[in-house]
Amino acid sequence: MSAPVKTGLPTNKAVLDLLQGLLGRGITVAPGAPVTPTPSRPTAFATYVDPGYGLNAVVLIDLPLAAWCAGALALLPKGGCEDSVSDGELSEMQVEVLHEVVNVAASL
């Protein structure tokens, strides 16, 4: 077993550059409150593992950001993204597209 590796958080600029490049539009990135999943505040999450399936990182994405990132990348209608946020659940298509977003975010 190897020693744990400390991984820092990406800078706001790195997140901004990644999302602007991926989504092809201007966005704003700023520090916010910690994302804490609760029944009334669902989140999307992804885990990043090493080749031996050891956990390297976890990312939590609040539901509005997840819905709108997926919607922007897949050119989904505004109403569908709004419905996902109000329903508290992503559509199957949004989940598939969000997988691509977090795959690209692994480069951070």
**pLDDT beneath 50, residues of the chain:** none
Q: What is the pTM of this model?
A: 0.85
The helix (H) or strand (E) run that includes residue 45 is strand 43-49
**Residue 47 included in any domain:** yes
| Tens digits of residue pLDDT in 8-36 | 888 989 999 999 999 998 998 888 888 88
What's the pLDDT score for residue 1?
Answer: 57
**Residue 85 included in any domain:** yes
Provide the 8-state DSSP code for 41: B
**Residue 4 included in any domain:** no
**Residue 68 included in any domain:** yes
Provide the 8-state DSSP code for 3: P
Domain tally, the chain: 1
b/e per residue 8-29 (b: at least 16 CB within 10 A): eeeeeeeebebbeebeeeeeee
